[in-house]
């Protein structure tokens, strides 16, 4: 197997990172691309009482299992499969099942703090930062957390004010300086998508 192209997609919560990652993935055959979600690599908190898990800052870099993510990325780049964790958002712990990830020509790593991880950045062939206005990001996050994760409106607002917004300003927004390309509106930016697809294809040929 040739050296895969590793693309990092970062940006604030609700910015459109997932839409961008999936739009890029659709440009390739299913066996040619793999999306690795940073959210799957939250630290396993099953040993902590449920009442204490609610007080954890899940938007801080320390909330993620960076060593495991690094190990899995290196394994995928070496042409071997990994078992990606499945995170249970409702209970703040890892589920018993895992998701098999196979090595591929293109690996897309998507998550809010992808560019903040010093051990991960050197592996990335292309670093993208999705830039979306704060009000739009907040509304998208609220809709997602209420409909998909069973949160209340009040809890979403409380978490946003206490951790999401301050962590974005402290750790996420500063990482845009590491980006090779800043993409306004994420997967809805067709011009940027075309440019990125072309670049990935060209690099894949060079590394093939």
Q: Is the pLDDT of residue 188 over 90?
A: no
Give the count of domains, the chain: 1
pTM of the model: 0.90
Distance CA 3, CA 20 (A): 23
pLDDT higher for 5 or 51? 5
168: helix, coil or strand?
Answer: helix
Length of the chain: 208
Q: What is the mean predicted confidence (pLDDT) over 192-198?
A: 91
| C-alpha to C-alpha distance for 186 and 202, rounded to whole angstroms | 21
In this predicted structure, what is the pLDDT of residue 208?
57
Structure tokens at 65: 């299992």
Question: Where residue 1 falls among pLDDT bands split at 50, 70, 90?
Answer: low
- DSSP secondary structure of 176-200: GGG-SEEEETGGG-HHHHHHHHHHH
The domain in which residue 130 lies consists of 5-207
Angle at which helices 17-25 and 190-207 cross, to 10° = 50
Q: Mean per-residue pLDDT for 128-151?
A: 88
Among the residues of 1-133, which ranges form H helices?
17-25, 50-53, 66-77
pLDDT at residue 44, rounded to an integer = 87
CATH number, domain with residue 42: 3.40.50.300
Residue-wise pLDDT tens digits, 152-164: 899 889 888 988 8
């Amino acid at each position: 197997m040739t050296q895969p192209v590793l693309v990092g997609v970062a940006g604030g919560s609700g910015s459109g990172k997932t839409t961008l990652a999936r739009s890029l993935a659709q440009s390739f055959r299913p066996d040619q691309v793999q999306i690795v979600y940073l959210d799957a690599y939250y630290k396993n908190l099953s040993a902590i009482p449920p009442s204490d898990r609610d007080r954890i800052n899940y938007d801080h870099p320390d909330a993620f299992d960076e060593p495991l993510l690094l190990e899995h990325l290196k394994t995928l780049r070496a042409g071997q499969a990994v078992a990606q964790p499945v995170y249970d958002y409702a209970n703040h712990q890892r589920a018993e099942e895992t998701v098999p990830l196979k090595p591929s020509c293109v690996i897309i790593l998507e998550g809010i703090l992808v560019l903040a991880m010093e051990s991960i950045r050197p592996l990335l062939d292309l670093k993208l930062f999705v830039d979306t206005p704060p009000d739009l990001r907040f509304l998208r996050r609220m809709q997602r957390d209420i409909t998909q994760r069973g949160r209340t409106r009040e809890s979403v607002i409380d978490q946003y004010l206490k951790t999401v917004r301050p962590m974005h300003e402290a750790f996420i927004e500063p990482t845009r300086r590491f980006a090779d390309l800043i993409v306004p509106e994420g997967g809805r930016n067709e011009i940027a998508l075309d440019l990125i697809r072309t670049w990935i294809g060209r690099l894949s040929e060079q590394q093939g």
